[in-house]
Structure 1
Amino acid sequence: MAADTLFVAKTEVMDCDIGGDRALLHLENNTYFTVNPTAAAVWKCLEEPATIDILVGAVTEKFEVTDEVCRGDVEAVLAEMIKADIVKEVTA
């Protein structure tokens, strides 16, 4: 993923907190997801368009993890969210 690519949560997805995890519901296809606290931190940042660097910064600020390890995890989470059609790439 390119460093300058922006990602944002799709507006068709609603979310709520459930004990530190997040529940996500895609309203168009009625798909329900739960995400762990790390993915929840990524999700929260995606309320507005964000780059990988912004997402990595948010996660490393909240959890004790190196940038290098975090970047791989964030990229994996984003790839899963894009595949699930709850996040999209946007142009600046």
Structure 2
Amino acid sequence: MNLNQKITFADTVFAQEVDGEMVLLDMESENYFGLDEVGTAIWQTMQEYGTLQEVFNTMLEQYDVEEEVLEKDLSDFIEKLVERGLVEVKEN
């Protein structure tokens, strides 16, 4: 994962927060995805800032986690979103 990359959201994805967790609907595949509290925080931070470095920095401030662990978890999360066609990652 390159922290200088920018996140763009698929136009076919609608997100709604329900009871502190995010529910995503991909209109193209008609699949629903549920994000837990941490996934929701990452999703909202991505919407607010757009670059992985800013998301990483924000999550590092919010959670008591080692940098290496956060980078791996963030990378795994983004990879799953990309695989499902919910976001794209581009060089900034």
TM-score (ref. length: structure 1): 0.84
- Mark the CA change 1:43 to 1:88 in structure 2 (over 3 Å): closer, same or farther: same
Spell out structure 1 runs of 4+ moving beyond 4 A: none
CA drift of 1:30 comes to 0.7
Report the AA paired with residue 77 of structure 2: V
**Structure 1 unpaired stretches of 5+:** none
Q: Residues of 2 paired with 1:29 and 1:15: CA distance?
A: 15
Identity score, percent: 20
Alignment-derived partner of residue 78 in structure 1: 78
Q: TM-score, normalising length from structure 2?
A: 0.84
Gaps of 5+ in 2: none
Please provide the CA RMSD for this pair: 1.8
**Per-residue CA shift, 1:9-57, capped at 9, x if unaligned?**
2222111112221100011111100011111112112226633221112
C-alpha deviation, 1:91, in angstroms: 4.3
2:19 is aligned to 19
In terms of fraction of residues, the more helix-rich structure is 2
